[in-house]
A and B are shown apart, each in its own frame.
Chain A
Amino acid sequence: MSATPIAPTPVSPTTAHLVGRRRSARKRRAGRVGINALALLVFVVMVFPVYWMVSTAFKTGPDIFGYTPTWFPIHATFANFGDAIHRQYFWRDVANSLIVVVAVVIISLVLALLAALALAKFRFYGRRAFIVLIIAVQMIPLNALIIPLYIALSRAHEVNKLSGVIITYLTFVLPFTIWTLRGFIIGVPKDLEEAAMVDGATRFGAFVRILLPLVGPGLVATSIFAFIQAWNEYIIAYVFLSSPTKQTLTVWLASFTTNRGTAWGPLMAAATLTSLPVVVFFVLVQRKIAFGLTAGAVRG
């Protein structure tokens, strides 16, 4: 790699277009159309099953099962959603899921960031062992752990408690989160931190002002991951939480499938409702990813 300047030169997004002006305007438009068409195709292919879920949520019974598929719910109805929301314990389960998820996301981000810093920035005895251990922990199949975990938590009186579920989820989420954050921290050129410290900042100050914003996108990606893991997990929540007042939304969702026929419309409505908070969370934090893109411009 060439010897690039340490202090970043501000390059605003607009200059990028100046460079591209060499290509003809027509070629650029065609390229733009092509790219957008490709993106649309990818979008349709990826989102179709989700579209199927959401559109089924709005369909009436006869439209759901048809020898000819009903592509668009012309006779849209909200009855399925009403059915789902009015099921017992819905709001209680939403609250439980939210508590679990918020706790898991926040605690895992903090703990993982600290651990990732240690792994990325320091050399110490036991580092390699810890790394291997962290990776190995993720290789243990969850199903094999159900009974041993239950026995352990039962002895600690953490069964049928949200806190028991929270700490269990942390063990699933932490290894990956530590890994990914370490990767992001390593990816930040060390020179930037050193440059800040030349200006007299303490190590902590350099961390907060320089490193944290740059690792921002990594924090966002891992927080979405932690959110989804905690929000959608089923078997641990079902086995560990007995009282209906403590159960999470995924357990509630599973109750739509009974041994006496599945209520497809309400199930799809319930699934749509269950997926919404993640999308909302993403919309809230997605600005941070975009921020990372233009960070180069602002830094100077």
Chain B
Amino acid sequence: MAAVESELAVSSRRRPRWSRHRIARGVAPYALLAPATIAIGAVLAYPLYLLVRLSFERYGLFELIRHKGVWIGAANYTRILHDGQFWHVVLRTLAFTAVNVSLTMVLGTAIALLLVQLNSFMRMLLTAGLVFVWATPVVVAVDIWRWMVDSEFGVANWTLTKLHFGNFTHHDWFVNPWSGFAVITALVVWGAIPFVTITVFAGLSQVPDELLEAARIDGARPFAVFREITLPLLKPIFVILASLSIIWDFQVFNQVWIMLDQRPSSDYFLMSIYSFFESFRISEYGLGSAIAVVMVLIMLVVTSFYVRQMVKAGEVR
């Protein structure tokens, strides 16, 4: 084997037209990156600049109509940071994100592992079901869940009462924010599982069979196989999924907004709702933009661990 490796090394050094390859290699990455960069940059560059600039301006409806904001420096930011409600919202959003991401990753991976064990018919069935869940538009999914927990006609109340878990007739799940968020968490995790499952499953399918066979022949138990072989190979995918889940769950908006009839009480404010509220409901676009910028900064900090991992992972060997 060592002989094969050194032969490879030698052959790559002896590759003909060495200098032309060197120049091509120098330009190649930039050429490959260019189309995607242009696509994103062309659309987002100016809006991003606007967003940041707005966060430093007073920009209400009056200013919006005249297309001219009033520069007020960091006043929006100081206002946010001194607002007691802001810190509650940040903590609430962080807690919400932590719970949702953990549940999604654990359950999603568990179902992916289950999928691997199934015969192809059951696998097709379960995957099709998951895709149908994934395909349901968020707005519709929220409508359905809202209706399932409806206080008068909801299935949930009826079933719980029938199963003698207590008297749930006319029980309103959203009077108490804890139970309300429990419902919303269930909804968010339910909607997020299919994506995690299918991506992890795709990753699992890349684990070479012969590695698993070798381990099994050696007598390793399934959990050990998972921990020693599968997990390390899937690490890049887990890191990506976890960081993306954090980013997405931190920005959850529709599920709370629509579930509470576009009028969430302040106990239900997550950062995205707080930002939207300030921008569009109270028409303080400058303030709303500042909140959005703070959101991005918080997310950068929270995901910095994962980001560093992603940057380091897959350094060209």
Contacts and interface: CB of A to CB of B under 8 A. Distances in A.
Contact of B134 (A13, A194, A278): A278
Nearest to A49: B144
Nearest to A2: B214
B213 A19 contact: yes
Contact of A179 (B50, B153, B244): B244
A5 B211 CA distance: 10
Interface stretch (B73-81, B173-181, B194-202): B194-202
Nearest to A215: B206
Contacts of B233: 187
A4 B43 CA distance: 47
Contact of B253 (A143, A153, A197, A250): A143
A293 interface: yes
A53 B144 contact: yes
A145 interface: yes
A278 B206 contact: no
A24 interface: no
B168 interface: no
A25 interface: no
Given A3-B1, A140-B296, A187-B237, A279 B208 contact: no
A35 B114 contact: yes
Nearest to B200: A221
A253 B143 CA distance: 12
Interface stretch (B83-91, B96-104, B271-279): B271-279
Interface of A is mostly: helix
A148 to B, nearest CB: 4
A30 interface: no
B22 to A, nearest CB: 12
B47 A11 contact: no
B313 A186 contact: yes
B138 A232 contact: yes
Interface residues of A, number: 120
Interface string A256-291: 000000000001100100111011001100100110
B295 A139 contact: yes
A67 B155 CA distance: 9
Contacts of A152: 43, 46-47, 50
A76 interface: no
B158 A118 contact: no
A254 B153 contact: no
B196 to A, nearest CB: 10
A123 to B, nearest CB: 4
Contacts, number: 321
A146 B283 CA distance: 13
A66 B311 CA distance: 55
A151 B33 contact: no
A220 B206 CA distance: 13
Contact of A130 (B37, B44, B133, B279): B37
A40 B289 CA distance: 46
A167 B42 contact: yes
Contact of B203 (A112, A147, A184, A250): A184
Interface string B85-123: 000000000000000000000000001001001101010
A183 B206 contact: no
A224 B47 CA distance: 28
B139 interface: yes
Nearest to A218: B202
B296 A49 contact: no
A286 B314 contact: no
Interface string A32-68: 0001101110110011011011000000000001111
A6 B198 CA distance: 28
Contacts of B288: 143-144
B316 interface: yes
Interface of A: 1-6, 8-9, 11, 13, 15-16, 19, 35-36, 38-40, 42-43, 46-47, 49-50, 52-53, 65-69, 107, 110-112, 114-115, 117-124, 127-128, 130-132, 134-145, 147-149, 151-153, 167-168, 170-171, 174-176, 178-180, 182-184, 186-190, 194, 197-198, 214, 217-218, 220-221, 224-225, 228, 231-232, 234, 250, 253-254, 267-268, 271, 274-276, 278-279, 282-283, 286, 289-290, 292-293, 296-297
23 contacts: A19-B213, A49-B136, A50-B129, A53-B140, A128-B311, A135-B307, A139-B296, A145-B51, A145-B292, A148-B46, A170-B43, A182-B314, A184-B237, A190-B317, A221-B199, A267-B140, A271-B143, A278-B135, A282-B131, A289-B202, A289-B205, A292-B206, A296-B208
Top 6 A-B pairs, shortest CB-CB distance: A144-B292, A278-B135, A148-B47, A217-B202, A118-B32, A186-B314
